[in-house]
Amino acid sequence: MWRLFLPPDPRCRPAVLLVAGLWLADASGAEPLRTAREVRSLPVAQAESGLAVDLTGVVTFSDPPNTAFIQDGTAGTFFRLEGAPALQPGDAVRVRGRTFPGLYLPGIEKAAFEILSHQGQPEAVPATYDDLMSGRYHYQRVAVEGIVRSVTPEEEGSTLVQLALGSRRVEVRVELPDSSGLDWIDARVRVTGLAAGHINARRQLVAPYLRCADWSSVERLRAGTAPGEAPRLSAEQLLNFDAAGQGGHRVRVRGTVLAAFPRGEVYLRDEASAIAVRLLGAEPGPVPGELVEVAGFPEMDRFSASLADATLVAREPATGPVEPVAATFAQLLEGGRDGDLVRVTATLIDRFRTDAGEVLVLQQGSRSLRAHLPEAAAAGLTPGSQLSVAGICQVESTLGSEYRSTPASVSLRVRSAADLAVLASPSWWTVRRLGAGLAIALVAMLLAGLWIVLLRRQVAGQTVALRHRIEHEAALEERQRLAREFHDTLEQELAGLSLRLDAAITRGVDEKLQGLLEGSRGLVSRIQTETRNLVSDLRDSGDEPGTLATALQTLAGRQPTDLGPVIHLSAPPADHLVPLPPRTVHHLKMIAGEAVSNALKHAGASRIDLVLEADAAGVVMKIVDDGRGFDADRETRGRPGHFGCMGIRERCARLGATVVWHSHPGTGTTVEVRLPSATP
């Protein structure tokens, strides 16, 4: 009889009615999928399109309130319960719905089902770990055989069983707690359950596991051996050749505890070698120095055999500290000390911090290895220190060469700060400090070189200034001496001559002599005037502040208005002239004075113009007279006893100025001095 299950919540009923409508709508559409293999074989894109499904099979596992797993003669899949009552494993049902991708393989959603009968579970398919990992039997009833490694109660009453399938492990999740009272550890069992697994975001199977509704799915084929009755072997005998093969059951090992780390990691040393042990249970673990006996399952670690899922069988108090075995890096790379407590002497070349603690990089000769320490165990250690380090030797990677495996790299796992000892501190001159010292010395040398260059420039500048000052003072002193000599000799002699001429004129002489004496007296007066001007110029040091226009005005004012030509100054406003240094003003004034003197002496001029002009190129000074002119090319190049034009050229050369005479006989003379604006 067909059943349409309506959920008790009225809000869910429209969805169920919608599913029923889809069934009716699909009656005239494409043929629905009728086997589990057809559903699970769909690509993701097709499964997303919601193809119709009409499938009949047997429920293999029920996971209310969401999911039920169904298997037919071809394969297994699952469907959504959509709030319907839970089904029982073994129920034969007919399911109709639409496909959807699922997490790993496609399933059925918007499903309605009809319970046809209860015929029991289908036969389980024997499977290996590789079968489970491949996904070929995913969501299908399988049977596996293996040895129980651990049984752990979980929340909500379920139980997690670790089952060893040869060298691989698989989880078995039993939905109920164990109430059988049996010792499952080390027992060989046959487990029948639903093949499932953990799926990542890329739709990949990360790890398979089995789901069982109760403990009736776990059949004990052979009881395990009690921990105290397991075969006793040495560390070197584990996983050795056995003609019957490795059974995978637990064995006993007896040895002295070398180290005990968190999460049950213990290292033992028996008479010949050492071994790593991973303990189960929450009882207090052993401490270094104790003599213990443990029972566990042999497993191959990265290089040597170890015991996993072990339990303590017996323990005796420690009689003293355990001494590490002295070894070199080369001896550790031979592999015989894997898992043993060793001590090495090496140089610390680096250190860094990780999430698990601190890592020291040790060097011995040309070889190096890493030592892993607990947090803050290496406080105060400096690279370059000579250290003695004790720790558990661990092979990190191996190399295979035909029939033999050898360690490629090893590390040390240090127990505590007590396993570290500083034998010698590094020299204060480390590479970093030496580099810093060299950098500081280089910077100091550069600064010293820069300071020397600047000092040399300053000394050179001061030397030039001092030379100019000495030259100036020497020239000034010489000018003062010449001024005194002119004043005390020539000027006084001219004054005496003038007095004699005045006396001769007053005595009464004939008219002809009278004219000669008056002409001589006028000449003497002019010589006196020039002499006074010369003395005044010599007394002028050239350091007094003032503008060029003011200096030229002073020069023009020396000429008497009633004697000789008129001197006229033409200059732009003071704010249009570029300020000039006193030394430059003095030289230009002396050049103008010499040009005026030449015009007075030789040109017979009636007017002399002093003209100042200023433009972007510099300052132009012109001395223009209306005298008789001369041959400038011949007369200005210097003749014996004539030094005026030569002096003008020398002063212009000192200033960086240029001078040009514009003159021809009978046309007057223009002396043009051009001073560039960049001239100091």
What's the confidence (pLDDT) of residue 543? 55
Distances (CA, A) of 553 to 556, 595, 609, 651: 5, 15, 11, 20
What's the confidence (pLDDT) of residue 9? 44
The proportion of the chain whose per-residue pLDDT surpasses 70, expressed as a percent, equals: 89
Q: Beta partners for 70? A: 59, 77
Q: How far apart are CA 338 and CA 275, in angstroms?
A: 8
* Contact by Cβ (8 Å): 594, 640: no
Assigned CATH topology for domain 326-426: OB fold (Dihydrolipoamide Acetyltransferase, E2P) (2.40.50)
What's the confidence (pLDDT) of residue 276? 96
431: pLDDT strictly greater than 90? no
Instruction: Tell which wins on pLDDT, 173 or 480.
Output: 173
* Contact by Cβ (8 Å): 170, 209: yes
Average confidence (pLDDT) over 278-299: 89
What tokens does 496 get? 């005496």
Distances (CA, A) of 397 to 240, 268, 338, 496: 21, 21, 12, 124
Average confidence (pLDDT) over 255-284: 89
Domain with CATH 2.40.50.140 in the chain: 10-118, 125-222, 227-316, 326-426
408: pLDDT strictly greater than 80? yes
Q: Report the CATH number of the 125-222 domain.
A: 2.40.50.140
What tokens does 265 get? 């990691």
Least confident of 173-187, 255-269, 484-498, 614-628: 484-498
Find the length of the chain. Answer: 680
Distances (CA, A) of 49 to 36, 42, 493: 17, 10, 136
Q: 280: alpha, beta or left, given left = phi > 0 and alpha = psi -120 to 50?
A: beta
Q: How confident is the model at residue 378 (pLDDT cuts 50, 70, 90)?
A: low
* Contact by Cβ (8 Å): 622, 675: no
Instruction: Tell which wins on pLDDT, 368 or 516.
Output: 368
Q: Where are the alpha helices (DSSP H) in 388-510?
A: 431-485, 492-506
376: pLDDT strictly greater than 60? yes
Q: Does domain 545-676 have CATH number 3.20.20.70?
A: no
What's the confidence (pLDDT) of residue 561? 61
Q: How confident is the model at residue 12 (pLDDT cuts 50, 70, 90)?
A: very low
Q: Beta partners for 197? A: 208
Q: Report the CATH number of the 10-118 domain.
A: 2.40.50.140
Average pLDDT, the chain: 86
Q: How far apart are CA 26 and CA 560, in angstroms?
A: 136
Backbone φ and ψ of 242, nearest 5°: -135, 130
Average confidence (pLDDT) over 390-412: 91
Q: Which tens digit of pLDDT belongs to each residue from 523-555? A: 777 677 667 666 666 666 555 556 888 888 888
What's the confidence (pLDDT) of residue 291? 95
Assigned CATH topology for domain 227-316: OB fold (Dihydrolipoamide Acetyltransferase, E2P) (2.40.50)
What's the confidence (pLDDT) of residue 74? 95
What's the confidence (pLDDT) of residue 151? 94
Distances (CA, A) of 92 to 82, 120, 380, 439: 18, 8, 73, 86
Least confident of 200-214, 467-481, 583-597, 658-672: 467-481
* Contact by Cβ (8 Å): 364, 380: no
* Contact by Cβ (8 Å): 517, 529: no
Q: Where are the alpha helices (DSSP H) in 27-77?
A: 36-40, 44-48
* pTM for the predicted model, two decimal places: 0.62
On the CB side of 280, CA atoms within 13 Å amount to 16
Q: Which tens digit of pLDDT belongs to each residue from 548-602? A: 888 888 888 776 666 668 888 888 887 777 788 887 888 888 898 888 888 887 8
Coil, strand or helix: which one is 615?
A: strand
Q: Is the dihedral of CA 557, 561, 563, 569 positive or negative?
A: positive
Instruction: Tell which wins on pLDDT, 369 or 19.
Output: 369
What's the confidence (pLDDT) of residue 10? 44
What's the confidence (pLDDT) of residue 546? 63
Coil, strand or helix: which one is 610?
A: strand
Q: How far apart are CA 466 and CA 447, in angstroms?
A: 28
Instruction: Tell which wins on pLDDT, 303 or 503.
Output: 303
Q: How far apart are CA 612 and CA 623, in angstroms?
A: 9
Backbone φ and ψ of 8, nearest 5°: -65, -30
Least confident of 226-235, 409-418, 594-603: 594-603
122: pLDDT strictly greater than 90? yes
What's the confidence (pLDDT) of residue 304? 93
What tokens does 539 get? 């007394």
What's the confidence (pLDDT) of residue 602? 81
Domain with CATH 3.30.565.10 in the chain: 545-676
Q: How far apart are CA 63 and CA 61, in angstroms?
A: 7
Average confidence (pLDDT) over 132-137: 95
* Angle subtended by helix axes 511-539 and 492-506, to nearest 10: 160
